[in-house]
Amino acid sequence: MKAAIFQNRKSVRRFSATGVNETTLRQLIDFSEKLPFFHAPIKQQFIWINGKEWISETLSKFLLSYGKIISAPYMLAPFFESELAAPIEIGYQAEHIVLKATELELGTLWVSTEDGTNLIKEAIIAATKETKDSLPVKFLNKITGNIETIIKDMQLPAIVLLGYPSDKRLDRIINNAVRMESAGNSRKKLETILTTNRQDKLSDKLRKIFNLALLAPSQKNQQPWRIRMTNQGFDLGFLHERQLDFGIFLAHIKIALDDGNIQYRMEKIDEKMNDVEWSARIILS
């Protein structure tokens, strides 16, 4: 995957009524089943849901700061067991899916579920209990195990909505306006993310990679990431217990490094200093 795709990703609130063709959807689902882990495999499942009316009704039941969401045809629900590193892994993996969807010309929207986790879980469980002829959702991938048990016992930090962006002029204007209002087009300068004075270690190539990675989305566009240069490469950390956002940023870093043909090794670290949780070390060869 090319890092240039970062610049094409835009959060979409208004989706097209045009359905995603089966080949494209299957390509995306197959991609999601072969994702890398940042540190170590965790027990998780990506549940793909098709149900435009059900998604709209469910999302409307809890307050969102995303603007009104119209006609989202697909929901990606990444469930995981309660483990310390799990939110990072989910952000890391799901952002790979978001960027692959962007590559396939789909629109996406990350939605934090901190105000609606139980509601969404209950809605999914309720949907599976409907009669077969009136099932309000369709699961696009095979769910391993009893879905009610899985959902009750697993956490859900965020969901991802997917579909083609609406091509209606008014919808395009609204999509852009909501992004502007939520500061979606505002990005911090690299100098505000760097916590070190080791500018001698920051090559032009690394500067380009970091600036590309800073296009990553984050909740309320707070961009809670931090970078410090080291003798061997650089460390990555985050503020405000924002593990999911950090995983998203980490995915961008990896893709940008790979695209730049840079040899590196990524390691997990665990260090807290001055409110920053340093969690990844990149060792450059």
- Per-residue pLDDT of 1-10, as tens digits, reads 899 999 999 8
Average per-residue pLDDT for the chain? 84
Report the distance separating Cα 155 and Cα 87, nearest Å: 9
249 touches 216 (CB < 8 A): yes
Which class for 239: exposed (0-12), middle (13-18), buried (19 or more C-beta within 10 A)?
middle
* Domains of the chain from N-terminus onward: 3-181 (3.40.109.10), 190-284 (3.40.109.30)
pLDDT at residue 258 greater than cutoff 60: yes
Q: How confident is the model at residue 33 (pLDDT cuts 50, 70, 90)?
A: confident
pLDDT at residue 133 greater than cutoff 60: no
The pTM score is: 0.89
For the chain, give the percent of residues with pLDDT over 70: 85
Report the distance separating Cα 241 and Cα 231, nearest Å: 27
- What phi and psi, each to the nearest 5 degrees, are found at residue 62? -135, 150
pLDDT at residue 109 greater than cutoff 60: yes
